[in-house]
Amino acid sequence: MDKKKALTFFAVETSNEILLPFVGGVKAGFPSPAQDYIDSSIDLNKELIKHPSATFIAKVTGDSLKDAGLDIGDLVLVDKSEPFVHGKMAICFIDGEFTAKYLNLKEKDKGIIWLHSANNKYEPIKVTPENDFVIWGMIIEIIKKPPVMDF
């Protein structure tokens, strides 16, 4: 695997509440003053992190999931306590490296797991018992900066 696809991991700090104003619904249409519509406050720790001791943040450094909207520099919340689910994104450790991929568990009973990218540049990875492999955790949220439009 390409070393440029490595992930950087960060622990999640949940001991402090970070309350942010919460607006219940935002239309992508005619602008209105949001200040008039603040419903309450929201704590992102409580909203996004269900299992603090099993949750980590990883920074994406590769482009293998770009067609799924996961770009270089995005942050992903990874929950190590979530069950492994066919068709969902996961952080996997394979042969000494971490990678973010979609799980294909259809042949798991035969001892085979497939890891799929969302970029035609990359072929699926066939994982067999000969590989040093573990599904490290499931991606539960993606945090990204909005794209900039060039008009």
Contact 101, 65 (CB under 8 A): yes
As a whole number, the mean pLDDT across the chain is 84
- Average pLDDT (137-143) is 94
pLDDT at 7 over 80: no
CA-to-CA dists, residue 138 to 13, 29, 82, 132, angstroms = 19, 34, 6, 18
pLDDT at 40 over 80: no
**CATH code 3.40.50.150 for 3-13+49-143:** no
User: Residue ranges of the domains in the chain?
Assistant: 3-13+49-143
Q: Mind listing the pLDDT tens digit for each residue in 65-118?
A: 999 999 999 999 999 999 999 999 999 999 999 999 999 999 999 999 999 999
Residue of 5, 64, 108, 117 marked catalytic: 64
**What is the pTM (predicted TM-score) of this model?**
0.76
Residue of 15, 41, 101, 108 marked catalytic: 101
| Catalytic residue status for 27 | no
Contact 82, 138 (CB under 8 A): yes
pLDDT at 22 over 70: no
